[in-house]
Structure 1
């Protein structure tokens, strides 16, 4: 595990097809934006021989962030797969975005992986969002290791960073988070900084020098021995504490010198079980070098310490009808069960689906069953269809390299799955399955959009459906009350990328317009009115008169219609016509165009004509009567109120509650949650929380989460209602 003999790099640029699940490692890289995940992936690929120079492939493009939007925005916005080979092991490196708006891509990477590398910058420390992901991984027992980057940055201190990692990630057991190596600094430069030139292996007590661009090994100098001793003893004790050999601690305390091989074996087992989390250091290679600092050690950790797909539990499966099936195992000969973890569109290849194969073997041109996927509320239709897949490929930058097959435990791309979306299950057509879905973050930031031109309007529907198919964290809403098309996203950057993809990928230009909430109207008091619709124009005329009384009802009552006509003043066949006209007018509103609710309309009198009265005439009269009644009484505007549940670190509870109060919110309760967090429950008008997803992130430094649900409509303050009426009048 880095302290072993140096391994030879794999063949450059080969499309690897794994021979067996035990020769596969699936690793997701997690860390905040700018921590160096993508740079590290490039360095690992270079050391493994996949590329000749970090970040370059044959066409001159970037190996990981090859999306055009990523190039323009200078940040990762999507999950990327980079497969490399090391010591006859295929390593699928899953590079995830570090920006919070693209946490859906991160969760997809966690689903596809069997272990995680947490990348932390020595210059920036550990942010709250990274800590929360660590806790999620801990909850499911995912093996994790920590890689410290940017050690050459000003004021970077590995010892300090290691102490932070022990405190933040170690929790109740900080000795489960310990370094395997110490950085070795070179000569101090004119600026007073000393670059990291190599690593000191604590178990092997060897020096691994990267200063020449190629890793060399030598024994330590006498000056290094005191530096090694304390850290080495702590590491050995940490490894033994997690050892499955209960006699090892007694032997060690008794003065026995435990063999390095035994320690490495126990270390690898503890890492694979997810109970020990080594800390390593890494840096990219020089432009003309072949190995980046710490990359060999990291590849050794991945191949030796991280679990194979066979060691990880497969998500529960059922039939598409919901009948549970026996648990699957990672067996290439078992039933086919794969999951779409990413969907993208290529202008030349078409739709590409990135699949994690959990069981069975997937082959080119096979006919498979696509089952999905419980996100109908986000604009993703459930479906149950058979499709024939296209070529199986392995991504390599912008290229797709053909694979003969993909076995259980592997990750591969599939073309021509036109109905499959992210989160769908791929199985055999004669044995359809549905996998238990992973948790998708709820999009809570709305943007209302309108087509820029008539030509864009013609393409908008298809473009939106394709966009949403790629991204299950996005919700498409056709709001019937406001008439707006609304995209619900995770943040402003998410919105920017969505609109950019609509424009560049699907040729649809849209404009963002102010988002409207679904207001309502109601009567403030009783009113009576007459609706008179009498017209004569030769031949049959129109004659209908109705008299109504309107009174307010409790919130949530809707529109109630009561018939109290006596003596046949309004013929029985026309009473439903009056009700229909009243309800139609209520749906359109009587003051600002918002639906009228929570009223009781009583029809108590009217007049009819034996020839000129009709269904249409009494519908019109009913609508006129309701408008006349509205003109005689104050109309209240009702605004929707949401119930918010905000989970935030204890130190931010005060600012969060103060902010909610400033939004006309009412805090209705708080309760303690595990991990030093507080759940704040509040009721807040929806018109005040349009940007809350962005604002909470700022207030809580990225650690806060919230969800919302509709509570009720209630009267809007008069001054705000007047402002809304003025805007609607414009």
Structure 2
């Protein structure tokens, strides 16, 4: 159980009902002193946010639960306090207290500022108040597949109202979609709604082309809300079905999982024919392969995880691409000259044309860009995608009969490949932010292990009962880290990890990666 410091009650949960039934009783005598000590600390912290409460606290007057909750709510909405509740989701304890705290302490739609978006095809911004009379606007934040209802799209409604059976406009895809049903979800239960209003969180049935992060709105009053940005996957593994029956259902199941999770990607390797899945880490892919079996009854064999490396360039370069082919009839001719340089982080391909005088006809310039974009998928170091590149088309020539879009696409690809070799290419690897919480007696072993795996220790912070190690570590060094950490600390440490950025690979490691990739290619 737990002790509620606001109500000063002991809460005991019934294991047989998986925490559904619980009992509030007086705090046991042996725990009362401990509870009073922590209540005093809580009141001292809460009193800092309200002068009237501070005066009562200093004078030793009784402070009621309603006063505590009121001040905590105002502090939370002002982003000055972060309330923490006790509990264990795994053991079904404290869940009701958490939900009560969400209702009591977190802001309602009326407590937050109006949402601001951009009018499509313009730079003009527009605000939408959380009002039922405003034009409809909502954000799709989750997609899932329900075995009984089908595809569910969860939407947070920021303004306006919507009736079941009506049409809405998806700004991201430019398509109208019909909402056949509106469902209010409550765990595994659902309630049919005929109409929903500003502030509601609702599941929509019938949206076929809407994905996570899309803005839905009134077609006559379009608005683009802030789009959710998702990082590219950093780990790949090959999967294959265990049986012929699994093979029939594998791709349909993977498509549904990919639809739900924008950071999960599926592709078929063109060289080996293997199905390759990509995600944000080893644990991410383990969970998804486990869901394949639990939810879709599809068994798979999983290969060794592979890091999603990328490539970049250090310097600017110029290059020429000339594609000439004569086959007896009409030939092929395309000639381009380009300048390339490193792009800004996260910019992808920035393509610019400085062609004057029609040396390259305007209709062929998009084909040059397509060829360059296609060539970026395979860099010169180890065949990994090129990251962030600025390319300027500066000159070229054409043949009135033999030139074609395909010829200039090939010429653009050839020019980029030649230019990348001259621009001092290098290999980059994903770097992860790592935090390890552990007892002090294991600190030396854990830090030593991290240092031996190319980790940079950012800091060591002391908590009342543990040490917290913050580090950045290459993703390639984290495979199997959960097992390694468990062994070093006798299972008494926990860690969290998330993607941070890409960083250049040391030369020795780069040579090992290149040798491994070339070895795989030779075996194929």
- What TM-score does the superposition give when structure 2 sets the normalisation length? 0.57
1:582 maps to what in 2? none
**Hey, what's the Cα distance between the residues in 1 that align with 2:184 and 2:513?**
61
Matched with 1:327 is 127
1:52-451 equivalences under 5 Å are 179-182=5-8, 184=10, 196=12, 230-243=37-50, 246=51, 248-250=53-55, 252-253=57-58, 262-278=67-83, 301-313=101-113, 316-321=116-121, 323-372=123-172, 383-396=173-186, 398-440=188-230, 442-449=232-239
Which position in structure 2 is the counterpart of 1:658?
452
1:404 Cα deviation after fit:
1.9
Number of residues of Structure 1 aligned to a counterpart in Structure 2: 402
2:13 and 2:252 map into 1 onto residues whose CA distance is 54
> For the residues of structure 1 that align with 2:507 and 2:33, how far apart are their CA atoms?
71
Q: CA deviation at 1:389?
A: 0.8
Q: CA deviation at 1:420?
A: 1.0
Per-residue deviation at 1:419?
A: 0.6
1:297 and 1:645, CA in 2 relative to 1: closer, same or farther beyond 3 A? closer
Which blocks of at least 5 consecutive residues in structure 2 are unaligned?
15-20, 324-329, 335-374, 376-381, 384-423, 437-442, 463-467, 486-492
The answer to whether the Cα contact below 8 Å between 1:390 and 1:416 also exists between their aligned partners in 2 is yes
Counterpart among 260, 280, 304 of residue 470 in structure 1: 260
**1:579-658 matches, cutoff 5 A:** 641-649=427-435, 654-658=448-452
Deviations 1:524-546 (A, max 9, x none): xxxxxxxxxxxxxxxxxxxxxxx
Aligned equivalents of 1:236 and 1:696: distance in 2? 39
Q: Is the 8 A contact 1:649 1:704 kept in 2?
A: yes
3-state DSSP class of the match of 2:481?
Answer: helix
Contact 2:234 2:307 in 1 (8 A): no
How far does residue 349 in structure 1 lie from its aligned partner after superposition?
A: 2.5
CA contact (8 A) 1:555 1:714 kept: no
Structure 1 residue aligned with 2:347: none
Paired residue for 2:395? none
Query: Does the 8 Å contact 2:9/2:25 carry over to 1?
Result: no
Contact 2:140 2:210 (8 Å CA) reproduced: yes
CA distance in 2, matches of 1:322, 1:397: 40
Q: CA RMSD in A?
A: 5.6
1:266 is paired with a residue whose SS is helix
Contact 2:157 2:198 in 1 (8 A): yes
Contact 1:179 1:280 in 2 (8 A): no
Q: Any conservation in 2 of the 1:446–1:690 contact (CA below 8 Å)?
A: no
Q: 1:369-408, CA deviations, whole angstroms, 9 ceiling, x for partnerless residues?
A: 1234xxxxxxxxxx22110011111235555331122222
Q: 1:224 and 1:450 mapped to 2: Cα distance?
A: 55
8 Å Cα contact 2:241/2:247 also seen in 1 = yes
Q: Is the 8 A contact 1:442 1:473 kept in 2?
A: yes
CA distance in 1 between counterparts of 2:223 and 2:483 reads 38
Structure 1 unaligned spans of 5+: 1-149, 152-157, 159-177, 186-195, 199-212, 287-291, 373-382, 520-553, 564-572, 578-586, 588-593, 596-637, 662-666, 683-688
Partner SS for 1:270: helix
Change in CA separation of 1:253 and 1:316 when aligned onto 2, cut-off 3 Å: same
Contact 2:164 2:179 in 1 (8 A): yes
Shift, 1:295, TM fit? 7.5
Separation of aligned partners in 2, 1:298 and 1:680: 32
Q: Distance in 2 between matches of 1:459 and 1:214?
A: 43
Deviation of 1:307 after TM superposition, in Å, equals 2.3
Does the 8 Å contact 1:335/1:428 carry over to 2? yes
**CA separation in 2, counterparts of 1:463 and 1:470?**
11
2:409 is matched with: none
**Greater C-alpha radius of gyration:** 1
Q: CA deviation at 1:362?
A: 2.3
**Contact kept? 2:161, 2:196, Cα under 8 Å:** yes
Relative distance call for 1:464 and 1:434 in structure 2 (3 A) is: farther
Q: 1:221 to 1:402 in 2, by over 3 A?
A: closer
Shift of residue 645, structure 1, vs aligned partner = 3.4
Distance 1:269 1:449, change over 3 A: same
In the TM superposition, residue 468 of structure 1 has moved relative to its aligned partner by 1.6
- Per-residue CA deviation, residues 461-497 of structure 1 (Å, 9 max, x unaligned), is 6654443221112133556677754321234454345
- 1:211-252, Cα deviation, whole Å (9 max, x unpaired): xx675788x999998677655544443332211xx3553465
The 8 Å contact of residues 430 and 503 in structure 2, kept in 1 or not, is answered as: no
Q: Distance in 2 between matches of 1:295 and 1:502?
A: 28
Alpha-carbon separation, structure 2, partners of 1:368 and 1:274 = 34
TM-aligned CA deviation for residue 368 of structure 1: 0.5
CA contact (8 A) 1:479 1:486 kept: yes
Q: Do the aligned residues in 2 keep the contact of 1:642 with 1:708 (CA within 8 Å)?
A: no
Cα distance in 2 between the residues matched to 1:447 and 1:224: 51
* Change in 2 beyond 3 A, CA 1:694/1:247: same
- In structure 2, the CA distance between the partners of 1:388 and 1:229, relative to structure 1 (3 Å rule), is closer
Deviation at residue 659 of structure 1 after TM alignment: 0.7
SS in 2 for 1:435: coil
Name the SS of the counterpart of 1:253 in structure 2: helix
1:585-604 Cα offsets, whole Å, 9 max, x none, are xx9xxxxxx98xxxxxxxxx
**1:179–1:279: 8 Å Cα contact kept in structure 2?**
no
* Distance change (3 Å), C-alpha of 1:256 and 1:366: same
User: 2:130 & 2:201 partners in 1: Cα distance?
Assistant: 13
Alpha-carbon separation, structure 2, partners of 1:495 and 1:506: 16
Partner SS for 2:162: strand
